Amino acid sequence: MLHCDYLVIGGGLGGLTAANVLAEAGCDVVLVDRSLPEARGALGGFTRFSGAKFSLLPAGQGLAPVAGGLGALRATTQDVLAFCDLADHSAVGSLDLLDDQPIGAQASMRAYQSIVLTPQQVERLVERISGKVGASIRVIDAGIDELRPGPSGWLAFSRGGAIVEGRVAIFCGGRMGGTLLRRAGAMPQEGKGIDLGVRIEFAERESLRALRDRGPDAKILIGPTRTFCLNSPGTIFRYGFRQITIPGGIVADTSERGANFGILTRVQGKEDRLGRVLRALRTVPPAEYEAAPTVKGAPFQDKTAILESAYGFEVVGHLKKFAETLGELGLVDWTSEHRIHFPLLDWHWDTFAVGHSHRTSQPNLFVAGDAAGHARGLLQAGVSGWLAAREALADASL
């Protein structure tokens, strides 16, 4: 069994930046990652299986109070961009917050800059930072099944045996880590509610050109409903969550003709809403919702019944109205060939950070990235890992 001062669990951007900060401070660090099945043993978590967009402020402003204010968040964002060799990218400007702009039909647009990488660029980025972190700390390829308080910190178990003990543990296991932290006694926090929606895949990316022209990550908003994560060119990647799969949008190379984007509406009462979605989808064979047929015309017609049983009438009403408005504004051409993928869920996972910190409710157990709950996203996970490591370093108990 290994012993260390800082045990980082999870090797996505949150875990990699946390490990980097700790290693640069001269600490004894072990990083344990069970890579995603598609990653075949490589670090990086969802980075390679994402839209590869690093969204700049105002995205991730939920981290401002944790960082110690907007100025401190900007400075940490610059540190993380430098760590990823992205600080000189042309999209990086002042990181100022811009007001939402009305665009008609009660809709507004939130513009923010994004660094959009190609699949090759994101691959190289992950290799570079994994290599950098791996050169200065011990990295173990394993899944942690259980975390228990040990004689001098947290004992991490894999396949029934304790493999590492860390005086402090930082959990960066992303959106699938809830069970482990709950079992370790950490209390899930209320969080931001849950986002329910659909991801729409167009056969030709031309059909989404007007939306893409508003910016690589321009967000159109009407009340709690908004567009989400446009990938052009892009494909769909379904990832497993509990008994279902969720259609994520991921970046593709330019030979891919299609594009996709999401529409989400935010509601409260996460546990109840999620329970309803899971119950509704359990009654239909996965093939019925995973294999989306090609359709044309008014949005979601063929899916209304199943969407209503999973999300409820009100949510489906918001989604439909919003989709129609995008058509009226000339941003989406619903007459062209598209496929509706669902259930698109976001913020569906447990989050554990207490207050404006990266602490969990358990002593010497920190959490960063998606599992923290302050912000979601690639750059945001990196910033969160960076801040969590600094908080852990500042902890007087070591």
Ligand X SMILES: Cc1cc2nc3c(=O)[nH]c(=O)nc-3n(C[C@H](O)[C@H](O)[C@H](O)COP(=O)(O)OP(=O)(O)OC[C@H]3O[C@@H](n4cnc5c(N)ncnc54)[C@H](O)[C@@H]3O)c2cc1C
Interface with ligand X by CB under 6 A: which residues?
9-15, 32-36, 45-47, 49-53, 55, 143-144, 172-177, 180, 229, 237, 239, 248-250, 369-370, 376-378, 381
Could you write out the three-class secondary structure of the chain? CEEEEEEEECCCHHHHHHHHHHHHCCCCEEEEECCCHHHCCCCCHHHHHCCCEEECCCCCHHHHHHHCCHHHHHHHHHHHHHHCCCCCCCCCCCCCCCCCEEEECCEEEECCCEEECCHHHHHHHHHHHHHHHHHHCEEEECCCCEEEEECCEEEEEECCEEEEEEEEEEECCHHHCHHHHHHCCCCCCCCCCEEEEEEEEECCHHHHHHHHCCCCCCEEEECCEEEEEEECCEEEEEEEECCEEEEEEEECCCCCCCEEEEEEEEECCHHHHHHHHHHHHHCCCHHHHHCCCEECCCCCHHHHHHHHHHHCHHHHHHHHHHHHHHHHCCCCCCCCCEEEEEEEEECCCCCCCCCCCCECCCCCEEECHHHCCCCCCHHHHHHHHHHHHHHHHHCCCC
Q: Taking the complex as a whole, how short is the minimal distance between the CB of residue 142 and ligand X, in angstroms?
A: 7
Q: Taking the complex as a whole, how short is the minimal distance between the CB of residue 313 and ligand X, in angstroms?
A: 28
Q: How far apart are CA 240 and CA 117, in angstroms?
A: 24
Quick one: 20 or 325, whose CB is closer to ligand X?
Answer: 20
Quick one: 242 or 296, whose CB is closer to ligand X?
Answer: 242
Quick one: 173 or 299, whose CB is closer to ligand X?
Answer: 173
Q: Taking the complex as a whole, how short is the minimal distance between the CB of residue 104 and ligand X, in angstroms?
A: 27
Quick one: 47 or 207, whose CB is closer to ligand X?
Answer: 47
Peptide bond into 363 cis (omega under 30): no
Quick one: 63 or 250, whose CB is closer to ligand X?
Answer: 250
Q: Taking the complex as a whole, how short is the minimal distance between the CB of residue 282 and ligand X, in angstroms?
A: 22
Q: Taking the complex as a whole, how short is the minimal distance between the CB of residue 16 and ligand X, in angstroms?
A: 7
Quick one: 166 or 177, whose CB is closer to ligand X?
Answer: 177
Q: Taking the complex as a whole, how short is the minimal distance between the CB of residue 81 and ligand X, in angstroms?
A: 13
Q: Taking the complex as a whole, how short is the minimal distance between the CB of residue 186 and ligand X, in angstroms?
A: 13
| Number of neighbouring beta carbons within 10 Å of residue 320 | 18
Quick one: 217 or 333, whose CB is closer to ligand X?
Answer: 217
Count of residues making up the chain: 398
Q: Taking the complex as a whole, how short is the minimal distance between the CB of residue 375 and ligand X, in angstroms?
A: 8
Cβ contacts of 97 within 8 Å, gap of 6 or more = 57, 58, 61, 70
Quick one: 176 or 194, whose CB is closer to ligand X?
Answer: 176
Quick one: 160 or 330, whose CB is closer to ligand X?
Answer: 160
Q: Taking the complex as a whole, how short is the minimal distance between the CB of residue 254 and ligand X, in angstroms?
A: 17
